[in-house]
Amino acid sequence: MSDKFSFELKAVSGGAGRAARLGAVTTPRGVIRTPAFMPVGTAATVKAMFPEDVRAAGSDVLLCNTYHLMLRPGAERIASFGGLHQFMNWDGPILTDSGGFQVMSLSKLAKLSEKGVTFQSHIDGSAHELTPERSIEVQCLLGSDIQMQFDECTSYPCAHEAAQASMELSLRWAVRSKEAFEQYGGKGQALFGIVQGSVYPDLRARSIEGLVEMGFDGYSIGGLAVGEGQDVMFETLEKTAPFLPKDRPRYLMGVGTPLDILGAVERGVDMFDCVMPTRSGRHGQAFTWDGKVNLRNAAHGEDTRPLDANSSCPAARDYSRAYLHHLIKAGEYLAPMLLTQANVHFYQDFMAAIRAAIAEDRFAAFASDFRARYRG
Amino acid sequence: MSDKFSFELKAVSGGAGRAARLGAVTTPRGVIRTPAFMPVGTAATVKAMFPEDVRAAGSDVLLCNTYHLMLRPGAERIASFGGLHQFMNWDGPILTDSGGFQVMSLSKLAKLSEKGVTFQSHIDGSAHELTPERSIEVQCLLGSDIQMQFDECTSYPCAHEAAQASMELSLRWAVRSKEAFEQYGGKGQALFGIVQGSVYPDLRARSIEGLVEMGFDGYSIGGLAVGEGQDVMFETLEKTAPFLPKDRPRYLMGVGTPLDILGAVERGVDMFDCVMPTRSGRHGQAFTWDGKVNLRNAAHGEDTRPLDANSSCPAARDYSRAYLHHLIKAGEYLAPMLLTQANVHFYQDFMAAIRAAIAEDRFAAFASDFRARYRG
């Protein structure tokens, strides 16, 4: 399906299961080192960051949101500009979601049917329809390198019957998404299927069976990080990840904290995305190897230490906590700019440390050390 | 007074008067190439810019506001952090104003007396006093390289009698500022006197006479750009600048548009500061060699041209106007970030072009070409 898309599994490490994977996803726009964290660039920008700083932080790939971009500035318009990469000045790989999750969580009057979803834009109230076919068409107009099938994401908790019906709908939409991708998809672009089934192992197994039968370039794990808590998420991952094809990348959607990511890598996940580092940065919170720091706290007003004197990130290294606190109090743009940069950099340093630990087959020790030091 | 502060006049150019000056102000923290534009870093940050990008744009020196910094985070606190340069991660020269102008325009319940001004903070209502002695003490606590005497700035219009009384008060405050600077001022720090006298040539002459008699490292021209309009400003400059010492830098406070700056350089001014490039950037307006561009305008939604394909500024060169328009509509941080950077870069490129034109003694032709092309 994808001439220039491939995944190479390079090493495994970890405790009993040795499930942590080091790999590389090759796309026409470059290699994604896995385990990988994808900063979120919802509206064709990682909020408060220049694209060159997203790259300099160590990011190989971005996630952009189909729902937001189809509404503003519009998929056809972005296509007329030469695609999303050129539009947002990012020449690395881009992954797009299908839009389904945001339609249900952000739009107004969303109505679900076998065909797809009709809804009103949260921006201007205009009427839209998103179907598997249109979702893939939009993602191809955007020109993203890794695309998601159109799916339905269950909320938590969700009864078995409802979860089953939803998972089966997602499977039928997977068929239609794949057909649309064969029509619209470009050379080297990849399509991922999305495993659903809420917290039920039998449904997850059935979802995987259906998707693998169709054959996708990679497999996303959806329907987690929706309120079930870390323990349940990890349990569900344990009943899901081992049954996914070993030779394809695995992407856990919308996850998470550093400890979420660590536990998911431990259970065999390769790719992650989350708004946490960027959103927290805009709210005055910084991630460090010692845990989260709330710089709004008055105690930081006198603290001349940087966030991390040993960081290679200028934002974490060259400014005191007192200065960051001052910028937040004064409502200055530089506060979210510095904190977002520091947080994305931290996340990428964290992923790099995970990759190094797997490469050197000391992942279990790394995970244990990190948990002992980091205050979540 | 200042061992390491000096001004060298390198060349003159222009029409009949040949009043445009090329020079260099040497400070302990580096050389300021004049004519110079100082971006405004009110609260110890040039809004929406990383300090390294302020430098990369071609800025030799910043202006910071004494009033804001004495209120938050406080001058003594900044001193305890090692001074303003270290606090804000800017190792180049910093010029501070005296705080007087902002006290009168921003604070609450400001009361003026011979001694100084009492007022309430616009942030938390706390009571403060600013006198010539305290203004200089604060500026020395901040550690700025170029400091301003405490003065009163007249509004426009202002009757001759009131302008005279105010100018004479500023002269008496100049004496006290200079005495305080001799007490608090550090090695290589410079103190500028401020010429007042509204639009009245006799008062400007008297102000200059008084200040020059005291002897300052440089001379600021205050009380302009307060509503009198460009013609009156230029007329007043013609009655002021020629009478200032040729061997000292001249700083026109709070000016201005590119055409304001061009006309003031033409009349012998060396230094400028203004919030215009930064504030305009936050409001969706960009400066280019062809004039101002309002990127909020819907017409830019389809415009794939960058602001300036020939710019060395990434923000002006690497993003389409359509993308900038999109970012503004979406309320994204990247809009002010890119536009502020592009605008400060444009201002500094403009100053560099002015300096090159004076150096090559073709300033009159440069000014004429610029006016023919630029739509203000």
CA-based nearest distance B197→chain A, Å? 35
Contact A43 B323 (CB under 8 A): no
Rounded to an integer, what distance in angstroms lies between the CA atom of residue B173 and that of residue B179?
Answer: 10
> What is the per-residue pLDDT for A376?
76
Six-digit token string for B194: 């401020």
State which H helix or E strand residue A180 sits in: helix A160-184
Six-digit token string for A16: 């009993």
Choosing among A323, A338, A345, which should be mutated to test the B contact, i.e. which has the most B CBs within 10 A?
A: A323
Tell me how far CA of residue A129 lies from CA of A65, A79, A124, A182, B163, in angstroms: 16, 19, 15, 21, 68
Strands A250-252 and B30-34: unpaired
For residues A124-141, average pLDDT? 97
CA-based nearest distance A197→chain B, Å? 34
Contact A330 B43 (CB under 8 A): yes
The pLDDT tens digits for A290-339 are 999 999 999 999 999 999 999 999 999 999 999 999 999 999 999 999 99
> What is the per-residue pLDDT for B61?
98
- Percentage of chain A modeled with pLDDT above 70: 99
ipTM: 0.97
Q: Taking the domains of chain A in order of start, what are their residue ranges?
A: 6-34+65-273, 275-365
Query: Which residues of A carry out catalysis?
Result: 97, 273
**CATH number for the domain whose boundaries are A6-34+65-273:** 3.20.20.105
CA-based nearest distance B124→chain A, Å? 12
Q: How do the residues of chain A divide into helix, strand and coil, expressed in percent and rounded to 5?
A: 45, 20, 35
Q: ∠A65-A67-A68 over CA atoms, to 5°?
A: 70
Give the confidence band of A2 by pLDDT, cuts at 50, 70, 90: very low
> What is the per-residue pLDDT for A3?
63
Q: What are phi and psi of B333, to 5 degrees?
A: -55, -35
Q: What pairs with residue B44 in β-bridges?
A: none
- Is residue B1 pLDDT above 60, yes or no? no
Q: Is B216 left (phi over 0), alpha (psi -120 to 50) or beta?
A: beta
- Percentage of chain A modeled with pLDDT above 90: 96
Rounded to an integer, what distance in angstroms lies between the CA atom of residue B318 and that of residue B330?
Answer: 19
State the pTM of this model: 0.98
Q: 3-state DSSP call for residue A288?
A: strand
Instruction: Give A-chain residues touching B305 at CB under 8 angstroms.
Output: none
The per-residue pLDDT of chain B, averaged, comes to 97
Six-digit token string for B166: 């105010």
Contacts of A296 (CB under 8 A, 6+ apart): A284, A325, A328
Q: What are phi and psi of A245, to 5 degrees?
A: -55, 135
Q: Give how far the C-alpha of residue A133 lies from the chain's centroid of Cα atoms, to the nearest Å.
A: 22
Strands A20-27 and A30-34: antiparallel
Contact in structure between A214 and A175 (CB atoms under 8 Å) = yes
Long-range contacts of B107-113 (CB under 8 A, 24+ apart): B107/B67, B112/B152
Rounded to an integer, what distance in angstroms lies between the CA atom of residue B213 and that of residue B354?
Answer: 32
- Is residue B2 pLDDT above 80, yes or no? no
Sheet holding B127-130: strands in order across? Answer: B108-112, B117-120, B127-130
Give one DSSP letter per residue of B299-356, joined into a string: GGGG---BS-TT-S-HHHHSSBHHHHHHHHHTT-THHHHHHHHHHHHHHHHHHHHHHH
Least CB–CB distance from A334: residue in B45, B82, B314? B45
- Is residue A15 pLDDT above 90, yes or no? no
Give the confidence band of B3 by pLDDT, cuts at 50, 70, 90: low
- Residues recorded for chain B: 376
CB pairs under 8 A between A and B: 98
Instruction: Give B-chain residues touching A319 at CB under 8 angstroms.
Output: 89
- Is residue B175 pLDDT above 70, yes or no? yes
The one catalytic residue in B60, B151, B270, B273 is B273
Rounded to an integer, what distance in angstroms lies between the CA atom of residue B269 and that of residue B263?
Answer: 9
The pLDDT tens digits for A34-55 are 999 999 999 999 999 999 999 9
In words, the CATH class of domain B6-273 is alpha beta
State the CB neighbour count (10 A cutoff) for residue B316.
25
Handedness of CA B102, B104, B108, B113 (dihedral sign): positive
The one catalytic residue in B53, B97, B151, B308 is B97
Instruction: Give B-chain residues touching A89 at CB under 8 angstroms.
Output: 318-319, 323
Rounded to an integer, what distance in angstroms lies between the CA atom of residue B150 and that of residue A124?
Answer: 52
Long-range contacts of A208-213 (CB under 8 A, 24+ apart): A208/A240, A208/A243, A208/A244, A210/A171, A210/A174, A211/A171, A211/A174, A212/A244, A212/A245
